[in-house]
Amino acid sequence: DAGVIQSPRHEVTEMGQEVTLRCKPISGHNSLFWYRQTMMRGLELLIYFNNNVPIDDSGMPEDRFSAKMPNASFSTLKIQPSEPRDSAVYFCASSLLTSGTYSYNEQFFGPGTRLTVL
Amino acid sequence: KQEVTQIPAALSVPEGENLVLNCSFTDSAIYNLQWFRQDPGKGLTSLLLIQSSQREQTSGRLNASLDKSSGRSTLYIAASQPGDSATYLCAVSGTYKYIFGTGTRLKVLA
């Protein structure tokens, strides 16, 4: 298995532009997470999906952020318009939620997208 | 609200030393706990997963223990090597999501 795939790996954009980050989870996993990592705030959970449905988006910083998961093998995180304070590394992770126990198995991370907003 | 703390924030040791990294959490109602390693500029690599019903897990030179009642986990690294230098993060799983600690930055000196 190729693991969790993210694209692009690096993104540099100007303030006000739209940014779209992409993620392909591990085949067979039914849960997907988007995280943001900065030096100041560490690793923050933005949103997570179970069976393609957003379960909790309380970590999404504001309305400029949106995430979709149209099918089990693809998710996007969009920032529109982008601001310099959005500069961070964005990680996607996937896992298998065991039904009944609501217990996750191992969570696997992608390599991340380093976003710089000028 | 679950809070996860890792102490120390940074640690520097000579090669060959055995060491212990600590992870504390405030809510003992967890499903599992996972230890990760993160190299500079890289993603997180899963090291060990301990289910809530387990007390410890081992992989090579790594051993992780879990004491839910006291809200603590430790990651033991035996015979440390310079290649072990990285940031180590623990994450606890409640219903549906993981909460991460802020990590311990480890440097093993040759």
Q: For A84-103, write each residue's pLDDT tens digit.
A: 999 999 999 999 887 665 55
Chain B residue numbers touching A55 (CB-CB < 8 A): 96
Q: Give me the percent of chain A exceeding a pLDDT of 90.
A: 76
Q: Say if the Cβ atoms of B46 and A91 lie within 8 Å.
A: no
Cβ count within 10 A of residue B83: 10
Q: Give me the percent of chain B exceeding a pLDDT of 70.
A: 98
Chain A residue numbers touching B98 (CB-CB < 8 A): 33, 45, 104, 107
Q: What is the mean pLDDT of residues B20-37?
A: 93
Write the pLDDT tens digit of every residue in B40-61: 888 999 999 998 888 999 999 9
Cβ count within 10 A of residue A20: 14
Residue A101 has what pLDDT?
59
Residue A96 has what pLDDT?
87
Q: Which residue of B has its CA nearest to A99?
A: B96
Q: Say if the Cβ atoms of A48 and B103 lie within 8 Å.
A: no
Identify the three-state secondary structure at position A86.
helix
Write the pLDDT tens digit of every residue in A24-50: 999 999 999 999 999 888 899 999 999
Cβ count within 10 A of residue A81: 14
Q: Which residue of A has its CA nearest to B97?
A: A48
Residue A105 has what pLDDT?
72
Chain A residue numbers touching B34 (CB-CB < 8 A): 106-107
Residue A100 has what pLDDT?
63
Residues of A numbered 60-89 whose beta carbons fall under 8 angstroms of chain B's beta carbons: which are they? none
Tell whether the model's pLDDT for residue A1 goes beyond 80: no
Q: Which amino acid is at B2?
A: Q
Task: Report the distance separating Cα A92 and Cα A111, nearest Å.
Answer: 8
Partner A contacted by B107 (CB < 8 A): no
Tell me what the pLDDT averaged over chain A comes to. 92
B80 in Cβ contact with B17 (< 8 Å):
yes
Q: How far is CA A3 from CA A29, B33, B47, B90, in A?
A: 11, 21, 15, 21
Q: Say if the Cβ atoms of B93 and A108 lie within 8 Å.
A: no
Task: Report the distance separating Cα A30 and Cα A49, nearest Å.
Answer: 8
B42 CB burial (10 A radius; 0-12, 13-18, 19+): middle
Q: For A28, which DSSP code?
A: T
Q: Say if the Cβ atoms of B95 and A48 lie within 8 Å.
A: no
Which residue among B44, B95, B102 sits closest to A102, beta carbon to beta carbon? B95
B104 CB burial (10 A radius; 0-12, 13-18, 19+): buried
Q: What is the mean pLDDT of residues B98-102?
A: 90
Tell whether the model's pLDDT for residue B97 goes beyond 80: no
Task: Say how many CB pairs under 8 Å bridge A and B.
Answer: 53
Q: How would residue B4 be classed by pLDDT, with cut points 50, 70 and 90?
A: very high
Cβ count within 10 A of residue A86: 21
